[in-house]
Structure 1
Amino acid sequence: MTTLAIAIHVIAAILLVGPVMVSTSMFPAQIINAQGGNTGALSILHRITKTYGLFSAIVPVLGVAVFLTDLATYGKQGQFHASIALAIVAWALLIFVVIPKQKAVVAALGGDTDTVQAASPADKPVDLEKSRSQIAMFSGIFNLLWIIIAILMFI
């Protein structure tokens, strides 16, 4: 049973976290391209980040499930505790920082934000260059956390 749970956990990480890492990495570069009026790619990257990002919460949940299936083994190994904590931090960073900043940029450039109210008020203009650098930084931190988690899984 533990082997099956680990396999599902790894497959979920690859299929759900991988696309989010790619879309968050590509988003800052697309801001420059979208300033010319073509916001299609930017909107798609935001939608991928948001959708896969929400579903990627399954990965830490499955990690906790694997952890609890063999508590005698995993409970004594600190790297698994650290991995779960880092996954929660990475997911929170994505949901509460990266996605709202992406949404504000897409809305500011007139892109499709799924017909939901823009993340930033209309009277507060978005500084695109500052937002681009912040999104790049927080996306890099998000990606780095997942790389550290992957390394911790194999120690």
Structure 2
Amino acid sequence: MNLIYAAHVITAILFLGPVMFATSTFQVQALAAHKGDAQAVGSAALMYRVTTIYGALSGLVPVFGIAAWIFAYPHLMKNGLYHASILLCIIAWAVLYLAIIPRQRTMMAGLGALDPDQPGNKKVKKVSDWNKTKSQLSMFGGIFNGLWLLVALLMVIV
């Protein structure tokens, strides 16, 4: 059962680390691209793809974690710290999918860097206040990353 636990830790490192980095750097690159930095457009597009793709793949982290919890460490099911960490994970994904990704999409639309063939991309409104959206993304990215750091601390404590 240590294999399941190892898969849990490895998926957390491989999938959450890049998302945490991307949510911290996207808005800086997008604003630079808006101000005329052509190279920053590519960087912003890459960070957007990392956020969306790796954000979805990070759903494997709790799958392996819950499997390890059930099959390898069932005695920990009564430990409230694990329940708290699951709740924090849900809140973190809500922040990612309800606050971060939609704002990143509006910035990408404002840059003209969204793929028009992707479903729903033609209806995305362009960002109206770049500095405000950058600040919001910095705030929500910090909340998202802070929640994951808190989850990691809870896992170490137990």
- TM, length-normalised to structure 2: 0.88
Indicate whether 1:23 and 2:27 are aligned: no
Q: For the Cα contact (< 8 Å) 2:109–2:125, is it kept in 1?
A: no
Whether the 8 Å CA contact 1:17–1:56 is kept in 2: the answer is: yes
The structure with the largest helix share of the pair is 2
1:94-129: CA deviation from partner (whole Å, max 9, x where unpaired): 12221111011011121234643156336xx52111
Match of 1:61 in 2: 63
- Aligned in 2, Cα 1:145/1:113: closer, same or farther, shift over 3 Å? farther
Alignment CA distance shift 1:48-1:118 (3 Å): farther
SS at match of 1:75: helix
- The share of aligned pairs that are identical, in percent, is 42
Q: 1:114 to 1:49 in 2, by over 3 A?
A: farther
Structure 1 gaps of 5+ residues are: none
What is the distance in 2 between the residues matched to 1:69 and 1:104? 43
Is the 2:116–2:122 contact (alpha carbons within 8 Å) kept by the matching residues of 1? Answer: no
Shift of 1:71: 5.8
DSSP 3-state at the match of 1:154? helix
Mapped partners of 1:10, 1:95: distance in 2: 22
Candidates 137, 140, 143, aligned match of 1:141: 143
Q: Deviations over 1:122-152 (max 9, x none)?
A: 6xx5211111111111111000000000000
Aligned residues: 152
Partner of 1:121: 125
CA contact (8 A) 2:81 2:154 kept: yes
Moved over 6 A (4+): none
Partner of 1:82: 84
With over 3 angstroms needed to count, the CA separation of the structure-2 counterparts of 1:8 and 1:152, relative to structure 1, is same
Unaligned runs of 5+ in 2: none
Aligned-pair Cα RMSD in Å: 1.7
1:78-117 equivalences under 5 Å are 78-113=80-115, 115-116=117-118, 117=121
